[in-house]
Structure 1
Amino acid sequence: MVRLYVDLGDLDPNDSGARSRFTSDMIIEAAQRIFHPYSLEVKDIAWWSVYEVGQRIADRFDDVAEAERGTRSPHVFIAGDACHTHSAKAGQGMNVSMQDGFNLGWKLAAVLQGRSPSTLLDTYAQERQAIAQELIDFDLTWSEAMAAKPADPNDPEAGGMSAAERQEIFTAGGRFTAGFATDYPPNLITGDDAHEHLATGFPIGERLHSAPTIRLADAKPLEIGHQAQADGRWRLYAFADDADPASTDSAIRRLCDFLAESPESPVRRYTPAGADPDAVFDVRAIFQQGHRELSVDAMPQFLLPRKGRFGLIDYEKMFCADLRTGPDIFDVRGIDRSAGALVIVRPDQYVAQVLPLDAHAELVDFFSGIMVPSA
């Protein structure tokens, strides 16, 4: 059994009944012409339908008109095919729809649970409508490429598109179809690129790109990005400076002390009383030294949080560069070895900001507009 999508050509936009006049025999004939000089024999058809491709995008993704934006928060949202339709040729319908849902889901949860103000919900339409337009633009280009007749190298005047040209178009859209082309611009939850030079391999606004590490506690090789779960928490990846992390002179220790002790610390301000220390912010440290060079007990106690009913220590917050087999995450992701970097990652795994390890005030300011202090 096979499934075929058969291009039946363009329809007359003034003929509303054109689609209804197609028959299964007409579809088979069209498929046979496409397959020629190869043969296609159809024994039975389990199901067939004629789908009219329409690249469309909704005017709004929520119930707030642009003139009202900022005066009230949205209460109704649409996602997926409800707000953007296109062809099935690149397999992006479900992919982009799931991304819509993930983008909206964590924001709804944060607002409904009282962790973020309702203004956070405005960013759903702001971010996803632009992505939907990129989807439509890509689909138009790819649909035209798929519909173009094959070029005849012996008759260049006849027009058409060569296989190489078609492949070039698909390759150019590869990052989009793989889900890595999204690049959210600065907004409430995505910062600017003032400090992006500290971690060039983590472009702000794009999905977090993982890299291999070694967990300090047990020397287990792990992909740092694969340790995050879709649980609504923010991630703070602290890439250590070149000082000894056990020393009070290290920027990574100063950051940990600030997060653990300062009344301004986002961890202290926004984590509910009685909750695990990492219930809202999952802080991970990545050291430049090999795992044999560091002692777990000498690391900042903030990175050894006690959690759960019995207050057991979580030893999975610290990682090291893989200096034996590589690659070194500091090299792969362009981390400034002298200064280190703090990479802030949203609950949907997009990089929200990159800051210096000592930029404590900037860290406080970033979260002040998107979090609600715990009671």
Structure 2
Amino acid sequence: MQFHHYGYVSGDPRVQPAAGVGLDRPEELPDEVDVLIVGTGPAGMITAAQLSQFPDVTTRIVERRGGRLEIGQADGIQARTVETFQAFGFAGRIIEEAYRITEMCFWRPDPADPSRIVRGERPADDPTGISEFPHLIVNQARVLDYFAEVMANSPSRMKPDYGYEFRSLEVTEGAEYPVTVNLVRTKGEDVGQEKVVRAKYVLGADGARSGVRQSIGCTMEGDQAFHAWGVMDVLAVTDFPDIRTKCAIQSGSGGNILLIPREGGYLFRMYVDLGVVPPDDHGAVRKTSIEQIIAKANEIMRPYTLDVRDVAWHSVYEVGHRVTDRFDDVPLDEIGTRSPRVFIAGDACHTHSAKAGQGMNVSMQDGFNLGWKLGYVLSGRSPESLLATYSAERQVIAQNLIDFDKEWSTLMAKKPEEFADPAELADFYVRTAEFPFGFMTQYPPSMLVAEPTYQELATGFPVGKRFKSAPVVRVADANPLHLGHQHRADGRWRVYAFADGVPGEASALTEWAEWMAGSPDSPVLAHTPEGADLDSILDVKVIYQQKHVDVDITKVPELFLPRSGPFQLIDYEKVFATHPEDDIFDLRGIDRVAGCVVVVRPDQYVAAVLPLDATEELAAFFRQHLLVQNRQPVA
């Protein structure tokens, strides 16, 4: 974490200096805003947290509840999401309080006595090292608390506006604030009073029954599996030996349980199979009592018993798989004719079973994708056409999730005798691990993702996929760290230059650095506003092939040692060398002879891999989505 560049800081460095709208933020919800977010679930809160880093953008997030969420239904945090938490600065703290999944046990009927269950496979949760971050279980409410803290400590000093329920909206093109939103108060002395807010953009993150989705004419499409599950968070005494390990349990009676230990050492969640739901059930299964769910769990777990002492939360749900055909208010036959004004995210546009642990995770990636794009357009960094990429990118990901979840939830509901091989469920879990971990997302070429023409220069950084971190050593202070962990959710692009030669000697890298610092076509100069820090839009870093002791920092191009803040202090934290044990050039397939440039989007996805001498292509790539600011060359 860097601070002091604006003057000495003696307090909590996570609290950024107030700026822009944060200097005089009105307590009451204003009549006009740049962005209005409806719903403080994961999708809404991460979008708000990202937008809070844009202090000149007025963002407000409203919630019909009177205060923070206390008990959340979602709890699974995949490794890709923990990477995202790292970008927002709280991965370490949430890892400390969460339950960490290290393996999963698969239980099935005892062949000698099918009325009893026995342990089968016990695979590691991440046997191939997909990520350096763990798979976690933690209450959704705590995730929202951390995002609320990011918002409160941001330059915008943002916080949710509780007690406002969405009623309707109307879009009037041509107006400065084209979206008129009708809200109603749900708490306080003015309960029932209507409130009208005009916004430039609106995000509906208001759940599966989204009013925003209905207002823009989007409908959920998909099917229902006609299979019900009871879910409960409980404190219980049991003789089941794996009660603190994630388990998939299949009984001889045909029922199944997905057991998920919770944070805190005592609490655990069970998804209990309630069986097939008749088409004419008319919702009767949802009246299943907690006592019936517990009885069913005991039946499935024989010969083990479950003595529930306290129920923190329970519910009954039917599996459904639905997704909207678009994530904004532009009908499919009008795409390209106008820009979107209203967006939907999370459960508002995709619903599925909870057993794959994807709902909250995919929802947050929706918000991370959209947040920086809104910030760029509203702060004058990018054209409005950038916003069309949100629906284009995320709708495909949602459909992939639905397809995966159909297969996983179907397997979870199968009876033991329906499997050709008893190990089929465990094999599927291991074989498809990369998808639920959140690492199968790959955005196709667009204005934000280049063609993978030069992928051979960095085979371990696939274009369109998330930037997979690797160890490096920071030259200035010899600190070993993960390169990707320095990518904060501050809205900046990252440009990583992997060196081709020896520090201080003429090379393709030195020529590239001179061009970046001195050519008017350089994306750093073309897109950074005059008066702003040189790295305020593009954060450019260099990684040398040598060990840190062999890099003379006095011979590093000035591009990688930019001046920051009012005192123009030198930033020494952009120059890296290889780690003595884990060489990033080897780990990520970087061409040692040619070197390369790896461009990474603000939401951590690789946007381009280019040769060091492909300066025209680099400039052209950024001009597709960044507006020219005409900054002067570095002195």
1:361 aligns with 616
The one of 453, 457, 473 equivalent to 1:214 is 473
Map of 1:155 onto structure 2? none
For residues 281-360 of structure 1, the aligned pairs below 5 Å read: 281-322=538-579, 325-360=580-615
Following the alignment from structure 1 to structure 2, what is the Cα–Cα distance between the partners of residues 374 and 329? 34
Q: Which runs of 5+ in 2 are unaligned?
A: 1-234, 236-267, 631-635
User: Are 1:23 and 2:289 matched, yes or no?
Assistant: yes
Does the Cα contact within 8 Å between 2:551 and 2:577 map onto a contact in 1?
A: no
SS in 2 for 1:363: helix
Corresponding residue for 1:273? 530
Query: Are residues 1:127 and 2:399 paired?
Result: no
- Once the two structures are TM-superposed, the CA of residue 145 in structure 1 deviates from its matched residue by 1.5
2:512 corresponds to: 255
* Structure 1 stretches lacking a partner, 5+ long: 151-157
User: Once the 2 structures are TM-superposed, how far is the Cα of residue 199 of structure 1 from its aligned partner?
Assistant: 0.4
Q: Deviations along 1:11-44, whole A, 9 cap, x unmatched? A: 1234324334533343233222211232334456
48-57 or 73-82, larger mean C-alpha shift: 48-57
Whether 1:372 aligns to 2:627 is yes
Residue aligning to 2:329 = 63
- How far the C-alpha of 1:161 sits from its partner, in A, is 6.3
Aligned CA distance change for structure 1 residues 49 and 301 (closer, same or farther; 3 Å): closer
Greater mean deviation of Cα atoms: 171-180 or 205-214: 171-180
Q: How many residues align?
A: 364
**1:209/1:225 contact within 8 Å kept:** yes
RMSD between superposed Cα atoms in Å: 1.6
Instruction: Quote the residue 1:153 is aligned against.
Output: none
**Bigger relative contact order, structure 1 or 2, given CA contacts below 8 A and separation 6+?**
1
TM-score (norm 1): 0.93
> Secondary structure of the equivalent of 1:5?
strand
CA contact (8 A) 1:198 1:356 kept: yes
Which has the larger share of strand? 2
Alignment of 1:144-163 (within 5 A): 144-150=410-416, 158-160=417-419, 163=422
Most deviating of 164-173 and 231-240: 164-173
Instruction: Report sequence identity in percent.
Output: 56
Aligned residues of 1:245 and 1:252 also touching (Cα < 8 A):
no
Q: Which amino acid aligns with 1:216?
A: V
What SS does the aligned partner of 2:410 have? helix
1:36 is aligned to 2:293: no
Task: Report the secondary structure of 1:129's partner residue.
Answer: helix
Query: CA-to-partner distance for each residue in 1:61-110, whole Å, 9 max, x for gaps?
Result: 10001111111111111111111111111211111111111001111111
Q: Distance in 2 between matches of 1:287 and 1:369?
A: 29
Tell me how far apart the structure 1 counterparts of residues 505 and 331 of structure 2 sit (CA, whole Å).
54
Checking the alignment, whether the CA contact within 8 Å between 1:106 and 1:347 is kept in structure 2 is yes
The code of the aligned residue for 1:299 comes to V
Say whether the 8 Å CA contact 2:503–2:552 is kept in structure 1: no
Give the letter aligned to residue 589 of structure 2: G
SS in 2 for 1:51: strand
Matched, 1:201 2:478: no
Q: Secondary structure at the match of 1:140?
A: helix
Q: Which amino acid aligns with 2:336?
A: G
Q: 1:12–1:18: 8 Å Cα contact kept in structure 2?
A: no
Q: 1:244 and 2:502 equivalent?
A: yes
Provide the C-alpha distance between the structure 2 equivalents of 1:235 and 1:359, rounded to a whole number of angstroms.
17
Q: TM-score, normalised to structure 2's length?
A: 0.56
* 1:45–1:326 distance in 2 versus 1, CA, 3 Å: closer
Output the CA distance in 1 between the equivalents of 2:493 and 2:278.
51
